[in-house]
Structure 1
Amino acid sequence: MKALFTTTCYTAILILILTTATLAQTTGIVRGIVKTSDGSPASYVTVSLVESKKGTTTTEDGTFTLSSVTPGTYTLRITFVGLQPQTKTVTVSAGQTTTINFILSENASQLDEVEVTGQTKGVTIGKAGLAPLDVPQMTGVVSNIVIENQQISRLGDALRNVSGVSLTQQRQGVSETISARGYSIGVGGGSGSIFKNGILTNTSGYPEASTLESVEVLKGASSLLYGNVSGGLIVNMVTKKPRYDWGGDVSMRVGSFGLYKPIVDLYGPLTKNLAFRVIGTYEKSNSYRDIVKTDRLYVNPSLLYKFSQKTTLLVEGDYLNAKLTPDFGVGAVIVNTVSQIPSDIPRSRFINVAWAYNNMKQGSASATLTHQFNDRWKVNVIAGGQQTDIDSYGAGVPNSVAANGTWNRSLSRGLTSERNSTLQANLTGRFNTGSIGHQLLFGADRVGVTTTSNSFSIISGGKAVTTYDQINILNPLGAERTDIPEATAYARTTSPSVRTGIYVQDLIALSNKVKVLGGVRWSSQKTVQTTIRDLATGAETRGATADKVDQAFSPKVALIYQPLQTTSFFASYANNFVINSGIDVNGQVLAPSIVDQYEAGVKNEFFSGRLTANLGVYRIRNSNLAQMALFAADGTPNANTNVRELTGQTTSDGLEVDITGTLSRNAYFIVGYGYNYMRYTKTSDAKGSYLEGERLTNNPAHTGNATLFYTFDQPGLRGLKVGASAFYTGARFGGYNNTKGQTQTDRRIPLSAFTTLDLTAGYSWKNVTLLAKLSNITNELNYLIHDNYSINPIPPRQYTATLSYKF
């Protein structure tokens, strides 16, 4: 059925191409490229024929094409937020292509400053370099100026500025989990939905956000470009790049609970063709949580070499050493089989052992080779890898705390590593068949992820530790144990996986107003049988599950209608696939689940990009959700939870609104709203199946964000900056979804809605800037939850201040 659908879509596209190609001899084409004064491409510049009202936007490589232009003489005009418009006269002839180019007076660095201020930069994670109005799905970009003004250090705090995105929690609070459209993405490379510079990344220990150029988000299904990724969103962190002019800045950030954080950023040319950039930061702080401490060092060096004006090599690396205190939050008690957050427990109470630790070392490196064949064709090849090592020790999971608060603490020791490798190649080009324009992407990628984990025996007093001690989380009186029992690794498990894909996508401009985007990806994901090594004898055994290969086709088709050069309506179909564990009733490996997404929306860019207003609606349906089979192959009731069938269903419906504006070079605002209804819509009658109609946990129905910043330039107030940001998370449930036949009354933990409000003020004089923020000024108390045990309160009212000097 999927193959038939894809074939039908491409057949329809081919018919449209053939029938409209006859127009080629009666109209003409205008094509060109817009560059900066230093020869770099000027992306996302608006290009229009004044008399005909036809228009488009330059792509990532600075090129533009206006098709189906009636012969005649026109005024070609280019505009960009914050810049003076430029015009040229162009004559169009029937059946001919007219080429006309522009060179801006600004260089690439100056244009980048304007892009950041204007909030108009496109999403490079889309790979094809499409203009924002040509991308048929909702996106989000958090620019460096937002990161600086809000004094953001964590990825999750940056993503609060994207509509429909909310934070949940990771086990022990040592990293973040992000949710959108009812789906969440976690920290490991195996989850495959968080990238850095387009390369898969592990985000354990919190990635350093204060040094990023931007954070990009593609919402919804993105399997066409990336394979097995979340159906809710993918995130790309874009690091700052080398520059061929000398400059940089140094800053010191201080804040509540003993925070101090120096940041250094230095860039410049080493030779005529070689530029560098080095960014480093060190962070040390206590916490509003007792015992909890943070100690982090981050370094990000990079080099950019120009072999020629057409060929560049970018080499990047980074290193993060993060020492964190694992924190289960305030805990939950079980009252009449229901988990509840104690109402009178202070926000600061720490329930892990006092000596608990989570130490992470992470290094990554990548190389990106880009070659521009001409103004229309470009290829880039990216290779990279990452190594993440985590050494942790502390209390076990607090998921069995009695109603009176007593908890028998066990211990858990961890020593894990994850090694990721990525290789991808992308060819992009623009060409015409008659009067029909094409923007083509063809690519392939390979991602390998190998995880290694150690199993430990914990010995105290000559015997294995099952209970370390007992505490009362409601009334922690008396001395706790402080000794650290010996933990000895006895086995090491290695789990490799490899996923590969080949994809093609074409944006077809049937006219200046009607475009069709079509594409398909073939993916193959191999999960290799685990290897278990006995560390005492060196003997190796293989895991119970044999090698498993999953394959899937991921099509995408979209219709785009642009009645004006500033407005774009779109409707699209795409899918994602989800890898399943277990076997079917016949003992065969369970096939992937195919998740269908339907999305429609409208995007607008007004006042030369100073104001954008976008709205999207979607439905995401997994019609073959894996759930426990009701009957075995012989018709008898099935009691094996590993025997499953693709008969369940979840449905996620929602709406997203994004409005951003640059009122002037002094002021900008961001407003976003998201609604989501993710629930089970079909389940089996088997014991342990989920309840139909129940909303999935950790998914608020409503989220919202609003930010406004203004910098004064009037005499007497020049250099003064003020700003405010508000973030809303609606009511939701933590814990676990209810199942049929469960013994508990309700496995969910209700969480109320909450809003946090931040106020910022700052002052700049020459090259010196002082910025101060008071966050959560109402001292709102709420929680982020992982399952039913890591119940971490949000930060209370606190201040942050940054003093910086730019040179």
Structure 2
Amino acid sequence: MKKILVALVLLTAGSTSLTARQLAAVQTATPVTEDGNAIVKGTIRTADGSPAAYVSVVLKGTSKFTVTDEDGNFQFTRINSGTYILEISLAGLETLEKNITVQEKETLALHIHLKENAKQLESVIVEGRRNLNGRPVTIGKLPIAPLDLPQAITVIGQQTLKEQQAMRLSDVIKNVNGIYLGTARGSTQETFYGRGYSFGANNMFKNGARLNTGTMPEISGLDRVEILKGSAAILYGNVAPGGILNMVTKKPKFNFGGEVSMRTGSYDLYKPSIDVFGPLSKSVAYRINTTYEKANSFRDDVHSTRYYVNPSFLFKLSERTELILEGDYLYHKFTPDFGIGSIGDSNLAPAGRNQFFGTPWQYAKSQQTTGTATIKHQLNDNWTINGTLSYQNYNRDYFSTERIQWSGAEDKYGDWKRPLGRTYTEEDYYLAQAFVNGKFKTGNLDHTLLAGIDADQITTIGKAFQIAGGTSYDVINLFNPSKYTRRTDMPNTWDTAKTKAPVVRFGAYVQDLIQLGEKWNLLAGIRWSYQDAKGIDTMRYNMINKNDTAFTGVSRTDKAFSPRVGLVYKPIPTTAIFASYSNSFTINSGSDLDGNPVKPSIVDQFELGIKNDLLNNKLSINVTAYRIINHNLAQMAPYLKNGDPNNNSLIKDLTGETTSDGVEVDIAAHPVQGMNIIAGYSYNNMRYTKTDSAGSNFVEGQRLVNSPAHTANASLFYTFSAKSLKGLRLGATAVYIGDRVAGWNNTFANRKAGIDRRIPIKGYTTLDLTAGYSWKNFSLLAKVTNLFNELNYIVHENYSVNPIAPRQFLATLAYRF
């Protein structure tokens, strides 16, 4: 940590090189003690009346600098009386200057219109606003500039999603430093890790509402993906450490437009998409996104079919009030695929990349339906209230062979068992939340306040099944396929039990950003969380004598306060140094080996960093160091109470204290018009730090499974502007995932017996190349992924891995209107 602190100090010293214009603005500023009592605020709109979001605003003659929010609003406080020049600029736009005169104690409200219309501004933003600290995240709820937030954030915009032809959320995550695809258990879902911790269902959001992660989200309807790293418990409660991810869908617009596209690719991929938006009246706008996808896989006998539709409507109820209604439906049918297994305890099987060890009939069918209503009302010029109501239904019907297992037989170098699993899960999720934010002043202190409440209810219904012939399907041999006759029939199944698990949660929070003079900001807040996990209702069916039995498990209620405090120091307007601390408790889903709800985990998080916007926003460099202490980590139990291997991810162990230390470096650059660069590097040390020295407990100091020490990413895209090449763009994306371990962490008993259950997996790098050409309203994009055909693996939470995809090709033809 001392080395990290030294690096931060050196980076701060090196970050003070400003452009001539920025330096002049600072040098000619009113003395550092800018403590006037006037306010300058305003709204910037395009020529056709749309909000001009993320436009730079400078009050020349002072050190005041800000960026407009999504509604085109900006505000400066502590202004001395006098005459100033307000400068409005964005790379690619003509700079607009406006002379203003401010009186003592005055609140000067401005309404400014740009020459450009909404489409022109959108094009400019795509090309010129890719710095790291220029766009607040909506999931942060508080409308403050990223430089004023003592936390690391990342926003991946729609243009990046298009340029990279993102198919899955894992394609988007390639652009986010320190976040990586950790597991794809059975290829039924994608689970991401950040700072050593899993982004489970509590950490994944869509439009600010939690999202069930049992299926893979559709990307075609997204406007952007926001990642808020570190603690977010004060805003959302009961989230795991590491960070949260929010997917923001495309919103209705009052100008007519849209896009029709067709994507095709390797392994018979076909994906037509439609996106249409426009006005229904002066006060109502609509948008409809829909897509269909059908594909095979590089894995033999693996198939996928998807349907998706996302209608939304925007109602301008008044000049200060707007309502958005959104629907979201996804159907996904696919072949579960558990990849390849291991030979012995610590060696991957030498299976071919394409070899599929399942059956022709296995399936998983998932459906996810969501309805959301979001209302935003501006109470006055300083205060806004937001409210959301959301409902989500998720269900999955699943019947498949599970991960293949080394049989332990005499021929131990080839015999594998193929177990079976059949489940049905349904979840109903209700959410209601409301929060208010606003600005006010106490004495010489400026406040940006956030206060809110939220409540949700999750009811999960699960069915257990008995399988004719038992859960052991058959035995196969890796090296001699003819040794055994593989079964191909689908066994009969019948219900044996039904469970109902209701959970109710409530939270209330308040957070205040206090401006302590020109250079210092203090962010402080606290949340109170309540969770009532009712005892699981279980109905067991007796198919022989019809003597069904019912019982209810033990209920559990948890309450906790989650404080947060952060300090930001801005030596110059474009550099911020921050430090923060938060404490939270994380609710753990599932039950322990005795069937009781798993206890929560108490988490302490410390964060220290620096954010820099340099060279007139053409270069951003952010560095963050962190420490996360989870005082009782919950993980999937490797064995059941009777000693049998556990296949149920909802049966968990509390494995002891873990500590995650790390540092992250994020870089974004726009060195010349048309060129955009995103890069990052992350180091993480996630290990057990306190466990009991008992036989079944894990070994202290051992790095956790599926936790690489090093990850890195880099993307470069260039759009040509010369007449002879206008419309052509090229790009490359490289991702590095370092060495990590599959299998299981060792226990003291394993160590004593000389058994190592860990499977070492080497690090790897993939490179994707893209090329595109636009002509009038048409565009053609082509992409090759994993250019060098790298072979490596996605790690599960057990003795199985899935090979990463080989070299593949994608092409998208689109017409924009």
- DSSP-derived class of the 1:202 partner: coil
For residues 134 and 25 of structure 1, what CA distance do their matches in structure 2 show? 18
Provide the C-alpha distance between the structure 2 equivalents of 1:614 and 1:504, rounded to a whole number of angstroms: 28
Which residue of the partner structure matches residue 473 of structure 1? 478
Consecutive unaligned residues of structure 2, counting only runs of 5 or more, are 1-31, 637-651
> Which residue pairs with 2:322 in the alignment?
312
| Cα distance change, pair 396–723 in 1 and its aligned pair in 2 (3 A) | closer
1:598–1:618 CA contact under 8 A, matched in 2: yes
Q: 1:149 to 1:52 in 2, by over 3 A?
A: same
SS of 2:235 mapped into structure 1: helix
1:352 aligns with 2:358: yes
**2:227 is equivalent to residue 217 of structure 1:** yes
Distance 1:473 1:543, change over 3 A: farther
Distance 1:744 1:445, change over 3 A: farther
Partner residue in 1 for 2:606? 598
Q: 1:713 to 1:57 in 2, by over 3 A?
A: closer
1:746 and 2:756 equivalent?
yes
Q: Please give the residue correspondences for 1:430-469 in structure 2 after superposition, counting only pairs within 5 Å.
A: 430-459=439-468, 464-469=469-474
Q: RMSD of aligned C-alpha atoms?
A: 2.6
* One of 379, 382, 390 as aligned partner of 2:396: 390
Mapped contact 2:429–2:458 kept (Cα < 8 A): yes
Contact 1:67-1:512 at 8 Å conserved across structures? no
Instruction: Show the counterpart of 1:575.
Output: 583
Give the superposition deviation at 1:526. Answer: 1.3
Percent identity over the alignment?
47
Q: What are the residue-to-residue correspondences of 1:563-712 with 2, within 5 Å?
A: 563-579=571-587, 592-623=600-631, 648-712=656-720
CA distance in 2, matches of 1:588, 1:387: 26
TM-score (norm 1): 0.89
**Distance in 2 between the 1:591 and 1:481 partners?**
42
Counterparts of 2:710 and 2:635, CA distance in 1: 28
State the secondary structure of the residue aligned to 1:147: helix
* 2:42 is the counterpart of 1:33: yes
The range that moved more, 474-483 or 237-246, is 474-483
Residues 1:341 and 2:348 are matched in the alignment: yes
Task: Report deviation, 1:557.
Answer: 0.7
8 A Cα contact 1:31 1:63, kept in partner: no
What's the CA shift for 1:141? 1.0
- Structure 1 unmatched runs, 5+: 1-22, 629-643
Query: Which position in structure 1 is the counterpart of 2:173?
Result: 159
State yes or no: 1:715 paired with 2:728.
Answer: no
Structure 2 distance, partners of 1:262, 1:624, is: 47
- Output the CA distance in 1 between the equivalents of 2:559 and 2:463: 30
Q: CA deviation at 1:372?
A: 1.2
What's the secondary structure of 1:660's corresponding residue?
Answer: strand
Displacement of 1:277: 0.7
> 1:377-407 deviations in whole A, cap 9, x for unaligned?
1111101111111111111332344432212
- Which whole-Å deviations, capped at 9, do the CAs of 1:487-527 have from their partners, x for residues lacking one? 11121111111211101111111222211111111011111
Task: Give the direction of change, closer, same or farther, for the CA distance of 1:778–1:582 in structure 2 (3 Å limit).
Answer: closer
In the other structure, the counterpart of 2:425 is 416
Tell me the equivalent position of 1:378: 384
Offset at residue 367 of structure 1 (A):
0.5
Change (3 A) 1:540 1:431: farther
Structure 2 counterpart of 1:771: 781
C-alpha contact 1:627 1:648 (8 A) present in aligned 2: no
Kindly state the Cα deviation for residue 452 of structure 1 after the two structures are TM-superposed.
1.1
* Distance of aligned partners of 1:218 and 1:357 in 2 relative to their CA distance in 1, 3 Å threshold: same
Looking at structure 2, the residues matched to 422 and 583 of structure 1 have their Cα atoms a distance apart, in angstroms, of: 24
Tell me which amino acid in the other structure corresponds to 2:348: I
| Distance in 2 of aligned mates of 1:765 and 1:411 | 53
1:138 pairs with 149, 152, 175, which one?
A: 152
1:131 partner amino acid: A
- In structure 1, C-alpha distance between the alignment counterparts of 2:387 and 2:226, rounded to whole Å: 20
Q: Does 1:254 align with 2:264?
A: yes
**Corresponding position of 2:197:** 183
> Aligned pair 1:499/2:505, yes or no?
yes
Q: Which amino acid aligns with 2:113?
A: I
In structure 2, the residue matched to 1:66 is 76
What CA distance in whole angstroms lies between the structure 2 residues aligned with 1:506 and 1:780?
A: 49
Q: Which moved more, 1:662-671 or 1:169-178?
A: 662-671
Mean CA deviation greater in 294-303 or 742-751: 742-751
Counterpart of 1:328, as a letter, is F
Who is 1:85 aligned against?
95
Alpha-carbon distance in structure 2 between the residues aligned to 1:442 and 1:538:
53
**What are the within-5 Å matches in structure 2 for residues 546-557 of structure 1?**
546-557=554-565
For the residues of structure 2 that align with 1:68 and 1:540, how far apart are their CA atoms?
Answer: 70
- CA separation of 1:83 and 1:233: change in aligned 2, threshold 3 A: same
Classify 1:674/1:626 alpha carbon distance in 2 versus 1 (closer, same or farther; 3 Å). Answer: closer
Superposed displacement of residue 86, structure 1: 2.2
Name the CA shift for 1:24/1:602 in 2 (closer, same or farther; >3 Å): closer
| Native 8 Å contact 1:36 1:106 kept in 2 | no
1:60–1:129 CA distance, 2 compared to 1 (3 A): farther
Secondary structure in 2 matching 1:796: coil
How far apart in 1 are the matches of 2:442 and 2:533?
A: 42
* 1:637-663, Cα deviation, whole Å (9 max, x unpaired): xxxxxxx99994321111111111233
- Counterpart residue type for residue 154 of structure 1: R
In the aligned structure 2, how far is the partner of 1:274 from the partner of 1:422?
25
Change (3 A) 1:329 1:622: same
| Aligned residues between the structures | 756
AA partner of residue 804 (structure 1):
A
Distance 2:655 2:779 in 1: 59
CA distance in 2, matches of 1:395, 1:566: 55
Cα deviations across residues 325-355 of structure 1 (Å, max 9, x unaligned)?
0001022222xxx23112x321000011221
Distance 2:567 2:62 in 1: 23
Residues 753-783 of structure 1: CA deviation (Å, up to 9, x unaligned): 1000011112111111111111111110000
Q: Is the 8 A contact 2:688 2:700 kept in 1?
A: yes
In 1, Cα distance between equivalents of 2:289 and 2:591: 49
Displacement of 1:699 in angstroms is 1.0
Which whole-Å CA distance do the structure 1 matches of 2:34 and 2:400 have between them? 75
In structure 2, C-alpha distance between the alignment counterparts of 1:324 and 1:171, rounded to whole Å: 13
Distance 1:398 1:177 in 2: 21
Q: 1:66 to 1:569 in 2, by over 3 A?
A: same
Residue 48 in structure 1 maps to residue 55 in structure 2: no
Tell me what 1:299 maps to: 309
Cα distance 1:665–1:315, how it changes in 2: closer, same or farther (>3 A)? farther
Report the counterpart of residue 322 of structure 1 in structure 2. Answer: 332
- 1:471 partner letter: I
Indicate if the aligned counterparts of 2:605 and 2:629 stay in contact, CA closer than 8 A.
yes
Contact 1:24 1:435 in 2 (8 A): no
1:216-235 alignment to 2 at 5 Å? 216-235=226-245
Give CA-to-partner distance per residue, 1:271-312, whole Å, 9 cap, x none. Answer: 111111111111111111011111111111111111122111
- Superposed displacement of residue 534, structure 1: 3.6
CA distance in structure 2 between the partners assigned to 1:662 and 1:627 by the alignment: 42
Whether 1:278 aligns to 2:283 is no
Residue from 508, 511, 521 that aligns with 1:515: 521
Map 1:523-534; keep pairs closer than 5 Å: 523-534=529-540
The change in CA–CA distance for 1:252 and 1:591 in structure 2 (over 3 A counts) is closer
Residues 278/625 of structure 1: CA separation in 2 closer, same or farther (3 Å cut): closer
- How far residue 532 of structure 1 moved from its aligned partner, in angstroms, is 1.1
CA distance in 2, matches of 1:507, 1:540: 55
Structure 1 pair 582–806 and aligned structure 2 pair: CA distance change class (3 A): closer
Matched, 1:487 2:493: yes
- Residues 225-234 or 164-173, more deviating: 164-173
Is the 1:67–1:511 Cα contact (8 Å) retained in structure 2?
Answer: no
Residues of 1 paired with 2:613 and 2:600: CA distance? Answer: 39
Query: Which secondary structure does the structure 2 equivalent of 1:663 belong to?
Result: coil
